[in-house]
Amino acid sequence: MEDYTALPLNTSRSAYSERRAVFISILPRNAFLVLFVLCLVGEVMVALSVPGHTEESSETISYLRQLFLSVPDVKSLSATSMFPDATAFAYGLAIWCAPIVALLFSFTALNPKVLGNATERASSVTRVVWTLGALSIIAAPVLFEFADHGPALSRYVLESVAVSRLALAIYASSLLVSFGLAWGLVLFELSNIIRGATK
């Protein structure tokens, strides 16, 4: 059975480009996994180490803080937190880094059978429903403020996030994974549309 996890050092560029990916196969799978783990570690470090208040920091930090707080749900959750700026940075990075992670995944070498099965076995209706669900997840922080108006369970989780940096680290990492999966699904369907149009 062929190993799709990494390329041998003597593999030619042409052979590597023949491996199937969501878009174009450029990045070895192991390299993507390392980058993804580094992103998760970064999320945890931000949640645990960023000061609760950064008003007197550099212009770059202030700009990033305002950028993250421009997202309604980030602003809402930060307002209820004991460490508002750490919450804004951890949550904001999860939102903004997710499409980057998904884009890297889209150029990662994968097993062709996996992508083929994902394309062929799902009906058009199922794929539309999943894509709409993914778009809903991506748009949710911009459209809703779950800290104030979410379900009871959601509010309980967010109350824990507001008082515990460890809970914030777990929450932000989970958001990065969730948003990354949603963006990955959208990019996968976009690649199917492009492939269908060029056939």
User: How far is Cα 43 from Cα 47, in angstroms, rounded to an integer?
Assistant: 6
Sign, Cα dihedral of 40, 4, 11, 198? negative
Residue appearing with tokens 């997710």: 98
- Tell me, what's the pLDDT at 52? 82
CA distance 122 to 136: 20
Q: Which residues of 104-126 are buried (b: 16+ CB within 10 A; e: fewer)?
A: bbbebbbbeeebeeeeeeeeeee
Confidence of residue 118 (pLDDT cuts 50, 70, 90): low
87 with 78: CB under 8 angstroms?
yes
pLDDT, average across residues 166-194: 93
- Which one-letter DSSP state was computed for residue 107? T
State pLDDT tens for residues 127-161.
889 999 999 999 999 988 766 555 555 677 888 89
